[in-house]
Amino acid sequence: RVENGFRVFDLRADSGVTDFGHGETRTAGYNGSYLGPTLRVRSGEKIRVRVRNDLDQDSTVHWHGAILPAAVDGGPHRPIRPGRTADMRWTVDQPAATLWYHPHPDGHTEEQVLRGLAGMFLIDDDDPRTAALPHEYGVDDLPVIVQDRRFGWDGQFGTRPDFSSDVGVLGDTLLVNGTIGPYREVRTSLVRLRLLNGSNGRQYDFGFAGDRGFHVISTDGGMLAAPVPRTGIRLAPGERADIVVPMRPGERLVLRSRSPAPDENILVRRFEGGMDSFDVLELRAAATLTPSTPLPAVLSDLPPPDTSKVAHERSFEFYQRTINDKNMDMHRVDLIATAGTREIWTVHSTHLMPHVFHLHGQRFRVLDVDGEPPPPELSGWKDTLNLPMDVRFRLLVTFAGNADENTPYMYHCHVLRHEDEGMMGQFLVV
Ligand code: C2O
Ligand code: CU
Ligand code: CU
């Protein structure tokens, strides 16, 4: 709906009950009992989102991956009290990308996301190359929100982690778009999956049964320069990738999350759930398939990262529940950046357990990984990045033009339990 030049969306967060096949599970959702609607907007469009909070605790809606002013970023500073409505407006100022939204209240993010509050936020643009990609929602362009859950004897979501888990609750059951064991009929020769790891702490190594090759076309913040051929892609909590897979007539093709290669650190992998394999989604191809437009050889004019005129270099060490030895303090601003500048950030984890770097309101490029050029699937725009222990990533952070000296943005670990436990810092862009 368009009102006074704004595309308007209404979201209402509320608790509800969902039957996943385990009886009545107490859940929460936006405009429904689990997850929320996919919001789809165009680059350049003015949007207005009204969010009513009918939960019995404070909430917010954070636009993960969106380039927007801090005042509408949905961070913990601007809670929406129970029964109140927030009104957020901004102009979509970024190219085509697969983003998502979720609550970000102080200390209760894991709990609210676990109950079901999350949704996809898709941006389209006018680039003819992205228009040539599969883009018919629900037909050849499918959202794939992957979340692990554990069901208790009473049918409720398990909320207490296993003693051996350092990343919060690891579920033994996958929900994909809120469904257990989903399949989808498809009838085109190419199918695009918008993979979102919407889990609280679990990582996935996605790939197809039979090692079917696919192309990665985009990562968190936008299109890659060219399609990257792969048979697997790993996503940490909060990360996204769009992939395009070729289908054969009449086949059933299963997307899986696989166990790691045997040379990885077994103890770490075990405690973070990396020993678990899952079937994620079955694609059932029609007997005859409509031929899709072949993937363009070039997807975007991704410029090489420009490291000239870097305003600052900073480094961030992730350890246990701290970033640079500090735990979150809502009254402390950790750094101040200048709108429209670039900085080089070195991020690295010295902790045995996995951490996931995420930055609000801006995008970054990976310059190097332990001094080597990044693999092609990390060469595009990112906002979330897995940090295995002792691997040093140098990032070129581009601060957008949204200056506000009063409202901070966040950077934090996207393992939601770690975030709630204060593995988070704040920055101002002025
Ligand atoms: Cu997806 Cu600060 O979060
Ligand atoms: Cu975010
Ligand atoms: Cu962490």
Task: Say how many Å lie between the CA of residue 309 and the centre of ligand 1.
Answer: 29
Q: How many CB atoms lie within 10 A of CB 112?
A: 23
Structure-token pair, residue 409: 């943005």
Q: On the CB side of 405, how many CA atoms lie within 13 Å of its CA?
A: 1
Amino acid 75: pLDDT:
96
| Second-level CATH architecture of 131-290 | Sandwich (2.60)
> How far is residue 292's CA from residue 281's CA, in Å, rounded to a whole number?
21
For 132-191, how does the pLDDT look when each residue is reduced to its tens digit (9 = 90+)?
Answer: 999 999 999 999 999 999 999 999 999 988 877 889 999 999 999 999 999 999 999 999
3.30.200.210, 1.10.240.10, 3.40.190.10, 2.60.40.420: CATH of 310-429: 2.60.40.420
pLDDT score, position 165: 84
Where in the chain are the domains? 2-124, 131-290, 310-429
CA of residue 273 relative to chain centroid, distance: 19
Count Cβ atoms within 10 A of the Cβ of residue 235 and give its class: 0-12 exposed, 13-18 middle, 19 or more buried.
buried
Q: How far apart are CA 275 and CA 281, in angstroms?
A: 19
Q: Which atom of ligand 1 is nearest to the CA of 65?
A: 1
Q: Are 101 and 198 in contact (CB under 8 A)?
A: no
For the CA of 64, the closest atom of ligand 1 is 1
Domains 2-124 and 310-429 share a fold: yes
Q: Which residues surround ligand 2, an ion (CB under 5 A)?
A: 64, 360
Q: DSSP for 44-77?
A: T-EEEEEEEE-SSS-B--EEET----GGGS--TT
Q: Report d(CA 371, CA 280) in Å as an integer.
A: 35
385 vs 396: CA distance, rounded Å: 13
How far, in Å, CA of 80 to CA of 151, rounded?
Answer: 29
Task: Compute CA distances 421 → 105, 147, 167, 168, 332, whole Å.
Answer: 12, 21, 11, 11, 16
Tell me the torsion sign for CA atoms 56, 62, 63, 64: negative
- Which residue's C-alpha comes closest to atom 3 of ligand 1? 64
Query: What residue ranges of the chain have pLDDT lower than 50?
Result: none
2-124: CATH topology is: Immunoglobulin-like (2.60.40)
Q: Residue 274: its pLDDT value, please?
A: 77
Give the per-residue pLDDT at 268. 63
Residue nearest ligand 1's atom 1 by CA: 64
Ligand 1 centroid–CA 148 distance in Å is 18
Q: Structure tokens of 116?
A: 């079901």
Tell me if 252 sits within 8 A of 283, measured CB to CB.
yes
Residue 380, CA distances (Å) to 218, 222, 224, 361, 376 in order = 8, 7, 5, 17, 8
- CA–centroid distance, residue 101 to ligand 2 (Å): 8
| Alpha-carbon gap, residue 32 to 125, rounded angstroms | 29
**Is the separation of the CB atoms in 86 and 50 below 8 Å?**
yes
Q: What distances in angstroms separate CA 401 from CA 70, 311, 363, one per listed residue? A: 11, 14, 12
Q: Specify the ligand 1 atom closest to the Cα of 412.
A: 2
Burial class (CB in 10 A: 0-12, 13-18, 19+), 153: exposed
Beta strands in 65-166, from DSSP E residues, in sequence order: 85-91, 97-102, 119-124, 141-149
C-alpha–C-alpha distance, residues 386 and 264, integer Å: 15
User: Residues near ligand 1 with C-beta < 6 Å?
Assistant: 62, 64, 102, 104, 238, 358, 360, 410, 412, 414
The ligand placed nearest to the CA atom of residue 357 is 3
The answer to whether 254 and 208 are in contact (CB under 8 A) is: yes
Rounded to the nearest angstrom, the distance between the alpha carbon of 132 and the centre of ligand 1 is 30
